[in-house]
Amino acid sequence: MTMHIESSPRRGWLVGAGRTMAMLALGASSFAWAAEPIEEGADYQVIQSGDGISRDGVVRVEEFFAYGCPHCHHLEGPLEAWLEKNEDEVELVRYPLPFSENSVAPTTAFYAAQKVLEEEGNADQLAKVHAPVFHALHEERRVFANAGEVRQFYAEQGVEVPAEAFGRVHDESAESLTRKAYEVFQTTQSRGVPTLVVDGRFVVGGKGPERTVEIVDALVARAQAED
């Protein structure tokens, strides 16, 4: 499943960058890694100008998603299960995008918190709040009115981001960091989320959650073989 988006004029950029255009329901396959062969054009696209960025057998996988996107939420379970099995072989880099009204505060909070935690040497802590944010939005129907509420939610999950540093970074950098992530997303030539990019070359999107992970798994193996 995919949430399709379209760029809009500058007006209300954080929300307008991704208006929902359509929802396509795609069949999901049974849960098994690499159950079917993968084919370029049908299962993934190649970024012709992309260079392999994997090193020493560790493959970089970039995930572009929106916290408010139900398809992105459905992908997280299978993706996390796969990641746990391959944590020594995969580097997952997350790029939340503000492609719906309820994604804006969690997105800008993510980038502000990420920068603060990186400065403290605790960037890995942010992974702890990823699934809880999805759960709060989609299962509890929680609404985050602003980034400060998201920071407080992080604290409830045991991830402390100092309020003063968070507020300063959010005011100074959150929107520009979000925009940079969107610019990176545009290089994938994809028009929907969730989208995953393997090794800076292979783009996967528009499939059911389990099939998406199957394809990513096969592409990671390919990148490792070519490294």
Region of 41 please: left (phi>0), alpha (psi -120 to 50) or beta. left
2-6, 57-61, 135-139, 142-146: which has the minimum mean pLDDT?
2-6
- Pairing type for strands 90-96 and 59-65 reads parallel
pLDDT at 10: 36
Domain spans of the chain, in order of start: 44-226
Percent of the chain with pLDDT over 90: 76
94 touches 195 (CB < 8 A):
no
160 touches 143 (CB < 8 A):
no
pLDDT at 53: 76
The pTM assigned to this predicted structure is: 0.85
Q: Which residues pair with 45 in a beta bridge?
A: 203
Judged against a pLDDT cut of 70, whether residue 12 lies above it is answered with no
pLDDT in tens, 24-59: 333 333 334 446 789 999 999 999 876 777 778 899
Determine the 3-state secondary structure of 38 from DSSP.
coil
Beta strands in the chain (DSSP E): 2-6, 19-24, 45-46, 59-65, 90-96, 192-193, 195-198, 202-205
Residue scoring higher pLDDT (100 or 155): 155
- What is the mean pLDDT of the segment spanning 95-111? 96
Residue scoring higher pLDDT (222 or 36): 222
- Pairing type for strands 192-193 and 45-46 reads unpaired
173 touches 191 (CB < 8 A):
no
Give the span between the Cα atoms of 106 and 52, in whole angstroms: 31
- Tokens representing 75 are 């992908």
- Hey, what CATH topology would domain 44-226 get? Glutaredoxin (3.40.30)
Tell me how far CA of residue 189 lies from CA of 82, 139, 149, 196, 202, in angstroms: 25, 31, 33, 12, 11
Please report which confidence band the pLDDT of residue 191 belongs to, taking 50, 70 and 90 as the band edges.
Answer: confident
pLDDT at 227: 73
